[in-house]
């Protein structure tokens, strides 16, 4: 599997390794442990009752998460309370998928990203054991720990997942917040998607504030502003046209890079990956229109159903009261209006009516 032994948390103990067996190596995520920027595990497709579809405005739910996206790590972008639920911990997560692009190392990625659309629509996670990317190339940083394999966050789609389906990324007793993006990198990632940044809670306080945070979510109406993603399509278009990060005003955190050589085997991995992804240029990039990459506005979905019902009741009650109070006046206005229309017609077409009267008189005389 692609993500066996993905995380390296200091020196490994002899015989210890990470597998994709959820029951033996991972535990179900606790809602209070979830936070913006944490990296968790998406289980296999069989764990879901229905397919997972992209919630971006451009996709309109048409893009389904492919088989290869399951059983992989994901980054939690935002949290919200489930619609029509006030139970603390009943959460829905906005997530972005992660990949290794068939174990593609950073050097090969940098060399090929300008001509491969699926590479341009991703951002690498920095590994301290490797030389960093050159200036102008975006990078994400983890708060602590490192990824054992070079990993990348996909920027094309955002998915909504039931938080109860997610698992911790590492060991059975690990917590979701133990593997998390550095706060400035989280801000960078949200800007890449064009999303408004969530309130950042310090990792050391996540466990202590879990109850409070879940209660706040349970009693708040979470929404997505219409304007929040208007910047994303322009940035994606700029990257597609090979513009630099500075030209599209992206705020990245990077360090100098010394080497840009890559092996034939690394390029072979990229070529193999190219055959497994959709190469349709129409699908490759969303249309360059404002808010295309925005999540569909929840609008009425996030409101209590009682609010809409009450508004309708008040509207009809006010309408009935107006009719009951002013009906005599309305009747007089209607009569006056009809009379006025009648005389206007007579005045406008008096010659026609006079001719009709003359013809009738003539016919009656015969």
Per the domain annotation, does 1 fall within a domain? no
What 3 state SS string does 156-221 have?
CCCEEEEHHHCECCCCCCCCHHHCEECHHHHHHHHHHHCCCCCCCCCHHHCCCCHHHHHHHHHCCC
Average pLDDT in the 180-200 region? 93
211, 345: one domain: no
In the chain, what percentage of residues exceed pLDDT 70? 66
Per the domain annotation, does 2 fall within a domain? no
Give the pLDDT score at 365. 67
DSSP string, 34-67: --TTBEEEE--GGG-SS--BB-BTTTTT--BPPG
Average pLDDT in the 59-72 region? 82
246, 259: one domain: yes
61, 156: one domain: yes
Comparing 70-74, 153-157, 206-210, 355-359, which segment has the lowest mean pLDDT?
Answer: 355-359
240, 360: one domain: no
Give the pLDDT score at 366. 57
Let me know: does 145 contact 7? Beta carbons within 8 Å: yes
Average pLDDT in the 166-187 region? 90
Read off the pLDDT band of 208 (50, 70, 90): very high
345, 254: one domain: no
pLDDT in tens, 306-330: 456 678 888 888 888 888 888 888 8
Rounded to whole angstroms, the Cα distance separating 221 from 277 reads 38
Domain end call among 279, 303, 327: 303
- C-alpha dist (Å) from residue 1 to 18, 101, 108, 143: 11, 12, 21, 26
298, 311: one domain: no
Range(s) of the domain holding residue 347: 307-365
Whether residue 97 is predicted with pLDDT greater than 90 in this model: the reply is yes
Helical spans, DSSP H, in 205-349 = 210-218, 232-240, 264-276, 281-284, 305-348
Give the pLDDT score at 153. 95
Read off the pLDDT band of 145 (50, 70, 90): confident
18, 94: one domain: yes
Whether residue 131 is predicted with pLDDT greater than 60 in this model: the reply is yes
183, 101: one domain: yes
Core vs surface per residue 64-98: b (16+ CB within 10 A) or e: ebeeebbbbbbbbbbbbbbeeeeebbbbbbbbbbb
Let me know: does 59 contact 232? Beta carbons within 8 Å: no
Rounded to whole angstroms, the Cα distance separating 254 from 257 reads 9
The tokens for 357 are: 């009267």
Let me know: does 331 contact 93? Beta carbons within 8 Å: no
Whether residue 10 is predicted with pLDDT greater than 80 in this model: the reply is no
| Number of domains the chain is built from | 2
249, 263: one domain: yes
312, 296: one domain: no
The tokens for 93 are: 């997560």
Give the pLDDT score at 36. 95
238, 341: one domain: no
Rounded to whole angstroms, the Cα distance separating 205 from 182 reads 15
153, 294: one domain: yes
Per the domain annotation, does 314 fall within a domain? yes
DSSP run (H or E) holding 108 = helix 106-112
């Amino acid at each position: 599997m692609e993500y066996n032994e993905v995380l390296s948390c200091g020196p490994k103990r002899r015989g210890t390794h990470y597998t994709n067996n959820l029951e033996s190596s991972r535990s179900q995520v606790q809602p209070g442990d979830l936070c913006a920027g944490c990296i968790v595990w998406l289980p296999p497709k069989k764990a879901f009752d229905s397919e997972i579809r992209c919630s971006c405005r451009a996709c309109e739910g048409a893009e389904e998460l492919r088989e290869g996206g399951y059983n992989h790590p994901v980054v939690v972008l935002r949290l919200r309370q489930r619609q029509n639920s006030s139970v603390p911990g009943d959460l829905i997560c906005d997530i972005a998928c992660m990949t290794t692009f068939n174990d593609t190392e950073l050097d090969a990625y940098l060399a090929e990203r300008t001509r491969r659309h699926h590479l341009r629509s991703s951002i690498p996670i920095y590994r301290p054991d490797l030389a960093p990317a050159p200036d102008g190339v975006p990078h994400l940083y983890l708060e602590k720990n490192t990824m054992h394999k070079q990993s990348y966050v996909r920027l094309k789609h955002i998915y909504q997942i039931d938080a109860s389906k997610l698992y911790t990324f590492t060991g059975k007793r690990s917590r979701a917040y133990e593997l998390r993006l550095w706060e400035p990198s989280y801000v960078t990632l949200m800007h890449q998607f064009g999303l408004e940044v969530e309130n950042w809670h310090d990792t050391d306080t996540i466990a202590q504030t879990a109850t409070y945070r879940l209660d706040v979510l349970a009693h708040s109406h979470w929404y997505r502003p219409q304007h929040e993603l208007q910047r994303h399509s322009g940035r994606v278009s700029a990257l597609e046209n090979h513009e630099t990060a500075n030209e599209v005003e992206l705020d990245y955190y990077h360090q100098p890079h010394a080497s840009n050589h890559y092996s034939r085997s690394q390029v072979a991995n990229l070529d193999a990956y190219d055959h497994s992804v959709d190469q349709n240029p129409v699908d490759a990039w969303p249309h360059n229109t404002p808010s295309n990459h925005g999540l569909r506005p929840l609008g009425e979905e996030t409101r209590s159903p009682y609010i809409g019902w009450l508004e309708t009741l008040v509207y009809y009650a006010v309408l009935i009261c107006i009719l009951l109070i002013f009906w005599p006046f309305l009747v007089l206005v209607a009569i006056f209006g009809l009379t006025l229309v009648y005389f206007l017609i007579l005045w406008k077409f008096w010659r026609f009516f006079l001719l009709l009267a003359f013809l009738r008189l003539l016919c009656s005389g015969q």
